[in-house]
Structure 1
Amino acid sequence: MNKQLLENSLMLVDLPDDGLTVRFYEILFDRYPAVRPMFQRDGKLQAAMLRQALVAVLDHLDNSEWLADNLGSLGRRHADMGVTAPMYEAVGECMIAAMAEIAGDAWTKEMSAAWAEALGAVSSLMLAGYPQKQAAAAG
């Protein structure tokens, strides 16, 4: 994974007031309205938490133990909320769409590929944290 490209591209799109993740949720709910009821908490709080999670993952990209433990735990919580594997794919799609929209012409195919790889790895680690029975149903 190209950590430098991920960090540079995040800095390019990391808007004040969690603007990236706010825009991400707008795109997600527009493209996948069926997931909207899964989000009970305040949208700004949810966006802030997602931004913090993105930064934390990038900060620990070289620490596989931290990633496995923390993302596995996060995956277990998402399993309890009924999140399925296709939903992770939708999240990746919508996050990259939000990034590309915000960056405009500065966004590159390489950035999209790097984020697709990173978000795919995050999804895999989160799904690995699912209880056995739910993991089979999620896939």
Structure 2
Amino acid sequence: MDKHLLERSLTAVDLPDDGLTVRFYEILFERYPAVQPMFRRDTKLQAEMLRTAIVSVIDNLDDGEWLTSNLGSLGRRHSEMGVTPPMYDAVGECMIAAMAEIGGDDWTPEMSAAWTEALTAVSSLMLAGYPDGVPR
């Protein structure tokens, strides 16, 4: 994984006031309205937590033990909320869409590819944390 490209591209689209993750949730709910009831919290708070998680993952990208432990734990919590594998795909799609929208002409196919790889890896580690295996 190209950590430098991930950091550089995140810096380019990381808007003030969690604007990237706020826009992500707007896109997610537009494209996948069925998931919105799963979000009982204020979306602004959810956006803050998501931004913190993204930055933490990038900061610890070279620490496999940290990633496995923390993302596995996060996956267990998501399993309790009923998150299914297709929802992870939707999240990746909508996050990259938000990044590309904010990045505009400066967003490149290489950035999309790097984030697709990273978000797929994150999803895999989270799904590995599901207590009874991945739901179908």
Name the TM-score, length of structure 2 as normaliser. Answer: 0.99
2:118 corresponding residue in structure 1: 118
2:97 corresponding residue in structure 1: 97
Q: How does 1:66-81 map to 2 (within 5 A)?
A: 66-81=66-81
Identity of aligned residues (%): 76
Residue 28 of structure 2: SS of its match in structure 1?
A: helix
Structure 1, unaligned runs of 5 or more: none
1:61 corresponding residue in structure 2: 61
Residue 51 of structure 1: SS of its match in structure 2?
A: helix
Q: How does 1:1-139 map to 2 (within 5 A)?
A: 1-132=1-132, 135-138=133-136
2:85–2:134 contact (8 Å) kept in structure 1 = no
Amino acid at match of 2:99: M
2:24–2:98 contact (8 Å) kept in structure 1 = yes
Superposition deviation, residue 136 in structure 1: 3.8
Provide, for residues 34-82 of structure 1, a one-character-per-residue CA deviation record: whole Å limited to 9, x for no partner. 0000000011100000000000000000000000000000000000000
Matched pairs, number: 136
2:100–2:107 contact (8 Å) kept in structure 1 = yes
Amino acid at match of 2:13: V
2:75–2:125 contact (8 Å) kept in structure 1 = yes
Superposition deviation, residue 131 in structure 1: 1.0
Provide, for residues 9-28 of structure 1, a one-character-per-residue CA deviation record: whole Å limited to 9, x for no partner. 00000000000000000000
2:75–2:126 contact (8 Å) kept in structure 1 = yes
Name the TM-score, length of structure 1 as normaliser. Answer: 0.97
Residue 82 of structure 2: SS of its match in structure 1?
A: coil
